[in-house]
Amino acid sequence: MHLFFETVIRLSEKVMCSIILTLGLAILLGYGLVSYAAEDIVVNATTSGGKILFQDNDSHGVYLLGRAWADFGSNATFSNVTPSIETGTGRSVFLVTCDNARGNELSRTRTAVFTLTVWNPAGVPHSTTREFRGICSETLSVDCTPFEPGEGRFEVTTTIRERQLNLPAVFGR
């Protein structure tokens, strides 16, 4: 009788090990499938900008270009920027304040993306981007030291992206 119970216990251990391995493989396969089928969808995006006049002098400074914000609750993006800035060809720092007052709801995978790009008079871009999945209040900054005077420009882009499953991509439709 003792041998019978020992055999049953050994079989139970093997069955349990097989179940755990099968379950682990199914979870790993499911994770890979979901990762393959997930894609970022742009929910909303706003771009606004202005011009920067680089004067023929050595002046420099720190300039607040405006404010950008995202609202996950209403899927809205906004920006309010200064239309025009004047500075010299010395090193200038350009700033944009970025806010997101609402976090993600449960089971949501939204990201607020803020980008500040400054082009010098030669058309060379200087850029920075920050991404946030929750409540944030940050300042983006870009340094720019042009070699010559002239007109440059800047853009502030605010985007809300959401990660969603694309099941037709998995099944080849």
Q: Are strands 92-100 and 84-87 parallel, antiparallel or unpaired?
A: unpaired
pLDDT at 169 over 80: no
Amino acid, res. 91: R
Residue with tokens 């899927």: 75
Please, what's the b/e burial string for 92-121 (b: 16 or more CB within 10 A of its CB; e: otherwise)? bebebbbbbeeebeeeeebbbbbbbbbbbb
Distance of alpha carbon 128 from alpha carbon 117, whole angstroms:
7
pLDDT at 171 over 60: no
The residues near 103 (Cβ < 8 Å, ≥ 6 apart) are: 72, 133, 134, 135
pLDDT in tens, 102-160: 766 655 678 899 999 999 999 999 999 999 888 888 999 999 999 899 999 999 999 99
Q: Model's pTM, two decimal places?
A: 0.73
Terminal Cα distance for the chain, rounded: 59
Instruction: Identify the bridge partners of residue 53 per DSSP, sorted by sequence position.
Output: 86, 151
Tell me, rounded to whole angstroms, the distance of Cα 50 from its chain centroid: 23
Q: What is the pLDDT of residue 2?
A: 58
Least confident residue range of 35-39, 56-60, 76-80: 35-39
Least confident residue range of 33-42, 83-92, 143-152: 33-42
Mean pLDDT to the nearest integer, 44-59: 92
Domains of the chain, by residue range, sit at 2-37, 39-165
Distance of alpha carbon 52 from alpha carbon 60, whole angstroms:
12
Q: What is the pLDDT of residue 101?
A: 76
